[in-house]
Amino acid sequence: MNGRSQYLPGEGRVVALCGGVGGAKLAVGLQHVLGERLSVVVNVADDFEHLGLHISPDLDTVLYTLAGLSDPVRGWGRSDETWNFMEALKQIGGETWFLLGDRDVAMHVERTRRRSSGESLTAIASDIARRLGVRSVVLPVTNDKLSTMVDSSEGELEFQRYFVGRRCEPVVKQIWFNGARNARLSEEVLASFDAEDLRLIILCPSNPYLSIDPILAVPGMAEKLRATSVPVVAISPIIDGQAIKGPTRKIMDELGLEPSNAEIARHYAGLLDGLVIDSADAAGSADLGVDVHPAPTLMTDLQSKITLAEHALAFGESLRAKHERRSRPPSKGAHHDDT
């Protein structure tokens, strides 16, 4: 399928559910095609308090990436960063396991100040997005506290302690989301799903277990996906039988899951109409239980991000006709872990 010929630019809105680095790459491609018609709903379960600051890693990754300010090598933080703050902190014996660049610190200080004075994460993100020249709408999934927790070979770890502090080395036994039971979808997120001209919902190729599941864990989100009258399309993080990005493969192994598109389709069962898989995995993908669209999913430069976005949008359009009358089975995924 040629994405360009089948998507109708200029019509309707698209909502994308997104984690950090991997998902933000696709968001860049989607923003290029859709501009302000894109709403990116971002995971906030990686957020934590550190050095007295409220850090929102995935939100900042999406904001910096869509503003063209992110570091192209790390994927997180800002490009042209300096590290005087960290060096000075180290000198006086402060905590340095989590790196905060000098420019990035401004974001955390300002967000912390505005939250203390009563502003919501949503309002702050929206204002900062505008100031940074981001064209799309960037929405934290909730303004409430939501925290990914990892039960590991080293006991219970808060997400950033596992991910950054221990570099994902401990064996993962279970993942859950503290606060999920009481978290509420923000009004702006609800409005983005209820928009009359909503045309498509996309699950970005973020880590399903660490980045998309916490979004789905907020009460009402999975129901929105099941009940929506527009197609829901996910982009698989599997390329050539491997999970390309970060610790996805390791976590799947540890949770006893095979790193395959079949497993990704099973994980999102009941929520999806279609799965974009990598062209390298096209053979043997007929029986995944959802419509499948092969495309080049490795995003190395701007053009590959735009091309994948165009494929996802064109695939979504092709599913709209089929989608008129459908009845989805209940989700098999248990997305409401809590303590």
Question: Which residues are registered as beta bridge partners of 53?
Answer: 50
Residues 6+ apart with CB under 8 A from 293: 1, 233, 274, 275, 276, 277, 311, 315, 318
Q: Which residue is nearest to ligand FO1 (CB)?
A: 20
Q: How far is the CB of 50 from ligand FO1 (least distance, A)?
A: 9
Of 7, 32, 76, 237, the one binding ligand FO1 (CB under 6 A) is: 76
Cα 315 to Cα 248: distance, rounded to the nearest angstrom: 25
Judged by CB under 6 A, the residue of 12, 77, 140, 208 near ligand FO1 is 77
- Which is nearest to 209 in space by CA: 156, 169, 165, 266? 266
Candidates 34-42, 57-65, 123-131, 254-262; binding stretch for ligand FO1 (CB under 6 A): 57-65
Among 60, 278, 310, 317, binds ligand FO1 (CB under 6 A): 60
Least distance (Å) from ligand FO1 to the CB of residue 259?
19
Taking the complex as a whole, the smallest distance from the CB of residue 10 to ligand FO1 amounts, in Å, to: 33
Pairing relationship of beta strands 38-42 and 13-18 according to DSSP bridges? parallel
Rank residues 85 and 98 by Cβ distance to ligand FO1 and give the closer one. 98
User: Does 46 contact ligand FO1 by CB under 6 A?
Assistant: yes
Which CB atom, from 134 or from 319, has the smaller least distance to ligand FO1? 134
Interatomic CA distance for residues 130 and 246, integer angstroms = 30
Stretch that binds ligand FO1, among 53-61, 115-123, 131-139, 310-318 (CB under 6 A): 53-61
Kindly write out the interface string for residues 150-169 of this chain, putting x where it contacts ligand FO1 by CB under 6 A and - elsewhere.
----------x--xx-----
Buried residues in 224-246 as b, exposed as e (16+ CB within 10 A): bbeebebbbbbbbbbbeeebbbb
Given a contact cutoff of 8 angstroms between Cβ atoms, the answer to whether 123 and 152 are in contact is: no
Amino acid at 157: L
Q: Which of residues 168-197 bind ligand FO1 (CB under 6 A)?
A: none
Applying CB under 6 A, which part among 55-63, 84-92, 170-178, 222-230 lies near ligand FO1?
55-63
Rounded distance between C-alpha atoms, residue 192 and residue 170, angstroms: 38
d(CA 178, CA 145): 8
Q: Which residue has the tokens 């098999």?
A: 332
Only segment of 33-41, 56-64, 172-180, 267-275 that touches ligand FO1 (CB under 6 A): 56-64
The site that binds ligand FO1 (CB under 6 A) totals a number of residues, namely 17
Q: How far is the CB of 287 from ligand FO1 (least distance, A)?
A: 32
Q: 5-34: which residues touch ligand FO1 (CB under 6 A)?
A: 19-21
Q: Residue 48 to residues 40, 51, 55: CA-CA distances in angstroms?
A: 21, 10, 6
Site for ligand FO1 in 90-149 (CB under 6 A): 98-100, 104
Instruction: Return the half-sphere exposure (C-beta side, CA atoms, 13 A cut-off) of residue 6.
Output: 17
Residues forming contacts to ligand FO1 in the complex (CB under 6 A) are: 19-21, 46, 55, 57-58, 60, 76-77, 98-100, 104, 160, 163-164
